[in-house]
Amino acid sequence: MTVTSEARADEFARQADPYRRELLAHCYRMLGSLHDAEDTVQETYLRAWRGYDGFEGRSSLRTWLYTIATRACLRALETRGRRALPSGLAGPSGDPDAPLAPPLTDVPWLEPFPDTLADPLAGDPAAIAVGRESTRLALVAALQYLPARQRAVLILRDVLRWRAAEVARLLDTTTTAVNSALRRARAQLAELSIDGVGPEPSDARQRDLLDRYLVAFERADIDGLVRLLAHDAVLEMPPHATWFRGADAIGRFLAPRLHAPGGMLTLPTRANGQPAHAMYKPGPDGGYRAHGLVVLTVAGERIDRLTVFLDPEVVRAFGLPAVRAGGATR
For the chain, which residues make up each domain, given as ranges?
Answer: 82-144+198-329
pLDDT of residue 107: 92
pTM, entire model: 0.91
Which regions in the chain score pLDDT beneath 50? 1-2
Distance CA 318, CA 206 (A): 21
CA-to-CA dists, residue 86 to 97, 219, 301, angstroms: 18, 27, 25
Distance CA 114, CA 216 (A): 24
pLDDT of residue 201: 54
pLDDT of residue 91: 94
pLDDT of residue 1: 39
pLDDT of residue 330: 61
pLDDT of residue 200: 55
Distance CA 321, CA 272 (A): 20
Distance CA 83, CA 142 (A): 10
Q: How many residues does the chain have?
A: 330
pLDDT of residue 11: 86
Give residues with Cβ within 8 angstroms of 246, minimum separation 6: 231, 232, 233
Task: Compute the half-sphere exposure of residue 228: CA atoms within 13 Å on the CB side of its CA.
Answer: 23
- The percent of the chain in helix, strand and coil, each rounded to the nearest 5, is 50, 15, 35
pLDDT of residue 54: 78
Give residues with Cβ within 8 angstroms of 114, minimum separation 6: 34, 269, 270, 271, 317, 318, 319
pLDDT of residue 147: 96
The pLDDT tens digits of the residues spanning 216-237 come to 999 999 999 999 999 999 999 9
User: How buried is residue 187: exposed, middle or buried, by Cβ count under 10 Å (0-12/13-18/19+)?
Assistant: exposed
- In CATH, which of 3.40.50.2300, 3.90.1150.10, 3.10.450.50, 1.10.760.10 is domain 82-144+198-329? 3.10.450.50
